[in-house]
Structure 1
Amino acid sequence: MTLADRLRTALDAEHETAPVLLAGDERDPGPEANGVPTPAAVLVAVTDRAEPGLILTQRTDTLRRHAGQIAFPGGRIDPQDDGAIAAALREAEEEIGLARDAVQLVGTADRYRTVTGFEVQPVLGVIPPDLALRPQPEEVAAIFEAPLAYLLDPANHVEASVEWQGRERHYYEIMWQDFRIWGATAAMLVNLSRRLRLSDWGSA
């Protein structure tokens, strides 16, 4: 069975107990129209290795939102996009130079609503290893690959809290090497871990 097939089977599997998923950040009104969140999509690109990895980016320090943070390639769904999958593929091509035809689509994972008013649709796909990816310098400071099994291991999901805008905000963070993955990106990884249940089909 190919990696894409294994991921697709795990994504679509029905379990005796439904996974407890994170729906979104506790938030005040954000940049959305009439209380409706702005639709967005990200590409969760898994490398097709014996030990699969996951492609992540570090955003530049000059961006207005989430400067310097770790993120999946992605962004808002534009009117010309044919849905979330098309948006995720377009954004990945623009941000990291990942050709759309290099992505073997697996499916869509659980949506997540961010503190900044976006409802993000993760799109899961498999890509060949060691592609020559190129960061878009205005948005992406670095591209790196982290082990999928490590990122999805619940033992590495640390719950933390911070005082933010007068209230206590709870979030998850995942430390890998010198990278601190937290906020919406970590939450989507937690959800993906709970949905896929990698331990049910062997080490990735």
Structure 2
Amino acid sequence: MTLADRLRARLADPVEGLLTGDLNGAAPMPEGGWRAAAVLIAVTERAEPGVLLTQRTGDLRTHAGQVAFPGGSIDPADGGPVAAALREAAEEIALPPQTATVVATLDRYHTVTGFEVVPVLATVPADLPLMPAPLEVDAIFEVPLTVLLDRANYQVGSRWHEGTERFYYELIFGERRIWGATAAMILNLARRLTWP
């Protein structure tokens, strides 16, 4: 059974209590509606699978320096979240779209910045010659899937946003802090998967 098959089998089980959005799950819908976005959760095909993440550059207009999945807005030409996630991964980390085996689209997540994000779960070959887009990505790194699936590795943090105390999950991996929407989407995946 392939890694993609194993992931699909685990995703078939219903799960309750998934995180739906920022601000304690109550991110308000923007006046013009949610902006559609997609991210790629790329799981590497190796004996101990990992997940590819990026460290964004420090001078971006939004989310500067944060850890994120490759991804961004869904363009009309994309035709949907899968194509958008693969296009963004190609642009941001030079991941060849044809190397990805799409497993599933996961639970939508709403951000306080007005995005409705569709995570796209896929498997990719290990050790691809990836390259960060210099204007967007400082680094590409891989976190073992077992680390991400272990709920004991998550903590709850909070900060105030426009008069509301915002609670979020975070995970520390070495010198990197994974938090906010990225950590929430990973935790939703962790709640869906029971790794053998």
Is TM-score (shorter-chain normalized) higher than 0.5? Answer: yes
Q: Partner of 2:5 in structure 1?
A: 5
Q: Partner of 1:156 in structure 2?
A: 153
Counterpart CA distance in 1 for 2:114 and 2:152 is 29
Name segments (4+ residues, structure 1) moved above 3 Å. Answer: 27-30
The one of 21, 24, 36 equivalent to 2:18 is: 21
Cα RMSD (Å): 1.3
CA deviations 1:59-84 (Å, max 9, x no partner) are 00110000000000000000100100
How many positions carry a matched residue from both structures? 194
The one of 189, 196, 200 equivalent to 2:193 is: 196
Q: Which amino acid aligns with 2:54?
A: T
SS of aligned partner of 1:163? strand
Is 1:143 aligned to 2:143, yes or no?
no
Q: Is the 8 A contact 1:43 1:74 kept in 2?
A: yes
Is 1:173 aligned to 2:173, yes or no?
no
Is 1:92 aligned to 2:89, yes or no?
yes
Q: Partner of 1:121 in structure 2?
A: 118
Q: Partner of 1:187 in structure 2?
A: 184
SS of aligned partner of 2:130? coil
Q: Partner of 2:43 in structure 1?
A: 46
The one of 78, 83, 90 equivalent to 1:81 is: 78
Counterpart CA distance in 2 for 1:197 and 1:40 is 27
Identity %: 58
Q: Is the 8 A contact 2:94 2:130 kept in 1?
A: yes
Shift of 1:5: 0.4
Counterpart CA distance in 2 for 1:48 and 1:178 is 25
Counterpart CA distance in 1 for 2:157 and 2:27 is 20
After superposition, the Cα gap between the structure-2 partners of 1:25 and 1:101, relative to the gap in structure 1 and judged at 3 Å, is same
Task: Give the stretch that moved more between structures: 125-134 or 159-168.
Answer: 159-168
SS of aligned partner of 1:127? strand
Counterpart CA distance in 2 for 1:179 and 1:148 is 16
SS of aligned partner of 1:68? coil
Q: Normalized against structure 2, the TM-score is what?
A: 0.95
Shift of 1:29: 5.5
Q: Which amino acid aligns with 1:135?
A: P
Unaligned runs of 5+ in 1: none
